[in-house]
Structure 1
Amino acid sequence: MNVWAIAEVGQGRLSPISLELVAAARELADRMGERAEVVLLGYQVEDEAQELIRRGADLVYLADDPTLADYSTEGYLAILAALVQAKRPLVLLLGDTEMGQDLAPRLAQRLGTGLISGCTRLEMDLTEWLLLGTSPAYDDRLMVTSSIPEGRPQMATLRPGAIEPFPPDDWRTGSVEKVSVERVEPVVKIVEGGLEVPRPRLEEARVVVAGGRGMGGPEGFEMLRELAELLGGAVGASRGAVDEGWIGEEHWVGGAGGKTVKPDLYIACGISGAIQHYLGVKESKYIVAINTDERAPIMDLADVGVVGDVHEVVPALIEALKAQQEG
């Protein structure tokens, strides 16, 4: 009857969605009077298993093997399907991320159960022991609550940023159970690896560098990409910049069709700060605004406002960061 979450790692570290998933599992398990358990697959990630316990897990199933250093559909699917069939959790949560969107439907099909995708809220009907997953529909204009009356485990994917992670508790105790790894020959093999570090998805990024019409054109966003790369972040954009065709719609932050972000640091470059945009970034821990207009709405909303031309301020910031990294 336990609640499970499937953790994600990148470069040997837990991704932000992992901490949100363990918080969601913990909340559901507490309501049910059951245990919150997490499955962690990766290589040299034993320290991350302890972090999951500090964040709310009672038990971590750890599959640590060189073959799991990079995500592969076949390898993860084989391990998870076997583990779920052996342990039989009631609820199984994954992130609504690239990995989760690839893995969750395949795992649900393998297990013969259903899947509630893209949830922003999870609840438990304790009368019927049904997981209730609420997710946006029709371009986020309608919220729909779904359940899986018959299939087990009840599976759902959680949208990044939907749940606030628990702070680490160094006094929490839990256990780690090592899982044997079934070697599966991947369909796709990585024959040569580059040095480029993949950027985080916009909804998961701890740093977001966003631009508006003040960037002046697509070349302005190339400058923002360089800054985001130096900070290990993602690039966002206002509705205006997207409408101009300077950057793809997948970067749109705020508004009815844009993404909601919750980074530690949000840097708004040349964005006036309409209310629709602010609603998409208001839960950022720290907002820095760069704008030539000191009366722009974003300046009142920011923790720090820099009055200046983004085409001068951002290059100077890039050079300072490069000098710091080289030094």
Structure 2
Amino acid sequence: MGEVLVLIDHTNGRIRKPALELLTLARRLGTPAAVVLDGGAATATLAAEAGAYGAATVYVADAPEFADYFIAPEVDALHQIVRAADPTAILIPSSADGKETAARLALRLDSGLITDAVDLDVDDSGPLAVQSVFAASYQVTSRVTHGTPVITVKPNTTIPEPAPTTCRTENVTVRFSPAATRTEIVSRTPRTASARPELTEADIIVSGGRGTGGAEGFTVVEQLADALQAAVGASRAAVDAGWYPHTHQVGQTGKQVSPRLYLAAGISGAIQHRAGMQTSKVIVAVNKDPEAPIFDLADYGVIGDLFTVLPGLTEHLVTPTD
């Protein structure tokens, strides 16, 4: 089997969890090969970590264009590496930036594109991707029939599994196109530091909705999330009401998540919200309305007041028992 290129998403000198998942999945399709762009002083550390998760080759490229300009330099680098390596497939994390990078790359390669895959497999004809479609009401299995498959994969699709291997590092000098410098980054605003995990990467998410009654109602949601070491989500109704920041919205017009545990508190379960979290492995709903549509989706349901249920659960988690 040929190489499977994995674009490495990294921060603070470490590979982010979704990219480790992709290296794990890539082993199903062929021989993993990592692409590390703009690693800087951490390049050697990133390459070693990629090798620990099965990458036989690590393609490395550093240039100021990756930091100074938006998306296009990454596409130039990937395009050049793909042309030289002729991989079986290209896997990219399914973030907003990742999906734009994947789309531009597929266009350059005249290849098919599959986005938001939730599982990967392979048969005699090549890679297969499983997607959740129509607001996660159905699952379909798809394949790219023209060119090199470019596939973006949702976080929490699999558990990252180390597979240490002897990897080689290949330095790449990227020839940037004129288009690469047309969109310049002129300023950056650092993300507010938080001890909670990133929403789209979290294994556990506790979300609040209209039932919280207001911004102050999210206190019990946050307390339970902290006890579970979870991320905090919010429904569109709560966000539109100004009760919680838009960056935490889960849904069709917010972030799509797929944690191992999703706890929905005071959320009715409108299709807009379901589209963003229906692929969660286990769903727990807390709602005082027994007819709430969320119960049709939930694996476990509690009919009750979230202001009683959530603090009780938090107390149970943080109070030692004999």
| 2:106 counterpart of 1:113 | no
Distance in 1 between residues matched to 2:79 and 2:57, nearest whole Å: 18
C-alpha spacing 1:135/1:85, structure 2 compared with 1 (3 Å):
same
Distance in 2 between residues matched to 1:69 and 1:13, nearest whole Å: 17
| 2:22 counterpart of 1:57 | no
Distance in 1 between residues matched to 2:268 and 2:312, nearest whole Å: 8
Q: State the TM-score, normalized to the length of structure 2.
A: 0.70
Give the drift of 1:143: 1.0
Unpaired segments ≥5 residues, structure 2: 285-305
C-alpha spacing 1:293/1:227, structure 2 compared with 1 (3 Å):
closer
C-alpha spacing 1:282/1:19, structure 2 compared with 1 (3 Å):
same
Question: What residue number does 1:17 align with?
Answer: 18
What letter is aligned with 2:174?
A: V
Superposed CA deviations along residues 128-175 of structure 1, whole A, max 9, x for unmatched, are: 2x2111101111111111112232x12211111112111x45x53211
| Conserved 8 A contact 1:261-1:283 | no
Superposed CA deviations along residues 78-121 of structure 1, whole A, max 9, x for unmatched, are: 11111111111111111111121111111001001101111111
| Structure 1 segment 112-151 matched on structure 2, within 5 A | 112-126=110-124, 128=125, 130-151=126-147
What letter is aligned with 2:7?
A: I
Unpaired segments ≥5 residues, structure 1: 30-34, 285-290, 308-327
Distance in 1 between residues matched to 2:173 and 2:120, nearest whole Å: 31
Worse-matched range after superposition: 15-24 or 240-249 = 240-249
Superposed CA deviations along residues 215-268 of structure 1, whole A, max 9, x for unmatched, are: 431355599799999xx9853036885797845697238xxx9732248xx8x7
Superposed CA deviations along residues 54-73 of structure 1, whole A, max 9, x for unmatched, are: 01211111113343247721
Question: What residue number does 2:90 align with?
Answer: 92
Question: What residue number does 1:320 align with?
Answer: none
Superposed CA deviations along residues 273-309 of structure 1, whole A, max 9, x for unmatched, are: 999989837499xxxxxx6525x6983xx895359xx
| Conserved 8 A contact 1:61-1:176 | yes
| Conserved 8 A contact 2:34-2:59 | yes
| Structure 1 segment 274-285 matched on structure 2, within 5 A | 280=280, 282=282
Structure 2 residue corresponding to 1:261, chosen from 259, 266, 277 = 259
| Conserved 8 A contact 1:23-1:165 | yes
Worse-matched range after superposition: 220-229 or 66-75 = 220-229
Distance in 1 between residues matched to 2:96 and 2:115, nearest whole Å: 13
| 2:199 counterpart of 1:202 | yes
Question: What residue number does 1:38 align with?
Answer: 34
| Structure 1 segment 108-257 matched on structure 2, within 5 A | 108-126=106-124, 128=125, 130-151=126-147, 153-166=148-161, 168=162, 172-183=165-176, 185-197=180-192, 202-205=199-202, 208=205, 210-212=207-209, 215-218=212-215, 220-221=217-218, 235-237=232-234, 241=238, 246=243, 251-252=249-250
Distance in 1 between residues matched to 2:315 and 2:121, nearest whole Å: 34
- SS of the counterpart of 2:201? coil
Distance in 1 between residues matched to 2:240 and 2:54, nearest whole Å: 42
Q: CA RMSD, aligned part only?
A: 4.4
Distance in 2 between residues matched to 1:81 and 1:246, nearest whole Å: 43
| Conserved 8 A contact 1:273-1:298 | no
Question: What residue number does 2:317 align with?
Answer: 305
Structure 2 residue corresponding to 1:271, chosen from 260, 265, 275 = 265
Distance in 1 between residues matched to 2:236 and 2:187, nearest whole Å: 38
Distance in 2 between residues matched to 1:140 and 1:297, nearest whole Å: 31
What letter is aligned with 1:100?
A: G
Q: State the TM-score, normalized to the length of structure 1.
A: 0.69
User: Number of matched residues?
Assistant: 281
| Conserved 8 A contact 2:208-2:265 | yes
What letter is aligned with 1:37?
A: A
Identity of aligned residues (%): 30
Distance in 1 between residues matched to 2:173 and 2:256, nearest whole Å: 42
- SS of the counterpart of 1:61? strand
| Conserved 8 A contact 2:60-2:171 | yes
- SS of the counterpart of 1:260? coil
